[in-house]
Structure 1
Amino acid sequence: MSIKPVHKPSYYVVNAITLYRLLAAPLLLILLFSGHLAVFKWLLMVSFLTDAIDGYLARKYQVTSIFGSILDSVSDDLTIAVAILGIMLVNPEFLRKELTLVMVQVLLFITQICFALIRYHKISSFHTYLAKFVTISQGIFLVLFYWLPEPVYMLFYAVSTLTILDLLEETVLVLVIPQWETDVKGLYWVIKNGSSKKPRQP
């Protein structure tokens, strides 16, 4: 789908915000390994906030695209990966204690990515309702993890459960949706209405 001229400035602004999150990931790594945890915590929080901002603006101004959707998904994954790596360095005991639950999520994530690459030849960017809620929940837990003296275990278990459900849903979506799509509400709506959307053009 082509972008209307009136929306072109918004298109570039939204993608620039998303691109910031992508470029911030290596900077977060540098801050993490150089011991600048205070700056790391602030920048991590900003990165998660930009995720909410670019998604809202993309929907408001109707400037979603294949490029923007994939860029958003990759930026999200990198931000979360850096935050998890930080947990390994800052509180390895927490990770050792919850290693099984974390590994289940990692394996499901890898499985979903592999299925999408085989079927669509690129990563999926369904942006389901559940995925959006999970991303917000993950951001809240990870930010609080670095700001509070102790991890909020109940929040971790709740977020992990939602993440597992989201990854299972997205894996099934890859299997039932024949062509790459974005802005898919969820498996319930696909089953109810069928997948009739055409892939968006950048």
Structure 2
Amino acid sequence: MKKIIIKGENVLNVPNLLSLYRLLAFPVILFMALTGREDWFVVLLCISLVSDVLDGNIARFFKLQTNFGAALDNLADIFTYAMALLGLFLFKWNEIAPHAWLLYLFLTMFILSYIIAFYRFGKIPGLHLYTAVSAGYIQGIFFFVLFVFGFYPWMYYLAVGWGVVAYIEKIFVLLWLDDIRIGVKGLYWLMRKKQ
């Protein structure tokens, strides 16, 4: 594979290509959702969800983590989960509506974390905290199960509730850090390091 160097990092690698796939799949998934093609929407969304799990694990296992890749992955995550949420509203809202308060809380914490990141650092927060990564896995499983097998309230509360916890931690980490960087595990580790 040919090397492409951006700011001293080799950015042409498998994890970044998987993230790029998710970005390129976004308009196709959006089209399927808006035209009511639920079957194709589900297939393409599930491929994106699986690639989201693979890219981070490949990057960590083979030590291919880069700042560019972290930002690309974060952007791809935003688009993938935006499509999952759109599908939730378009195809599954009747099941979700009685439990929507938690979803609204999650979306508030999500948006607040980005406002804080842009205010403090002027860029997308490419942090991959342990809570956020685990929340992403749980949410990916939830969306997969929701669209393929149906709605399970306990799974919804676990996925969205843990997402709220993850974004609250992310907000505290963003307020703590001097700059966004890869390799930050979480607030606990930042506090231990300071001691």
Q: Same fold judged by TM-score > 0.5?
A: yes
CA distance in 1, matches of 2:84, 2:48: 11
CA distance in 2, matches of 1:100, 1:52: 27
CA distance in 2, matches of 1:91, 1:55: 28
Report the CA distance shift for 1:194/1:124 in structure 2 as closer, same or farther (over 3 A). Answer: farther
RMSD: 1.7
- Give the structure-1-normalised TM-score: 0.87
- What SS class does the counterpart of residue 110 from structure 2 fall into? helix
Count residues with an aligned counterpart.
189
Q: Which residue in the other structure is 1:114 paired with?
A: 115
Q: Which has the higher contact order (CA 8 A, sep 6+)?
A: 1
Q: Which residue in the other structure is 2:84 paired with?
A: 83
Q: Which residue in the other structure is 1:164 paired with?
A: 164
Confirm or deny: 8 A CA contact 1:25 1:82 kept in the other structure. Answer: yes
CA distance in 2, matches of 1:91, 1:110: 22
Confirm or deny: 8 A CA contact 1:69 1:182 kept in the other structure. Answer: yes
Q: Aligned partner of 1:115: which letter?
A: I
Deviations 1:126-181 (A, max 9, x none): 10111111000000000111111x30100100112211110000000001111111
Q: Which residue in the other structure is 2:105 paired with?
A: 104
Q: Which residue in the other structure is 2:16 paired with?
A: 15
CA distance in 2, matches of 1:183, 1:95: 35
Structure 1 residues without counterparts, runs of 5 or longer: 196-202
Confirm or deny: 8 A CA contact 1:11 1:63 kept in the other structure. Answer: no
CA distance in 2, matches of 1:133, 1:80: 15
Alignment of 1:1-202 (within 5 A): 2-3=8-9, 8=10, 11-148=12-149, 150-194=150-194
CA distance in 2, matches of 1:179, 1:194: 15
Report the CA distance shift for 1:194/1:26 in structure 2 as closer, same or farther (over 3 A). Answer: farther
In the TM superposition, residue 61 of structure 1 has moved relative to its aligned partner by 2.6
Structure 2 residues without counterparts, runs of 5 or longer: 1-6
Confirm or deny: 8 A CA contact 2:45 2:83 kept in the other structure. Answer: no
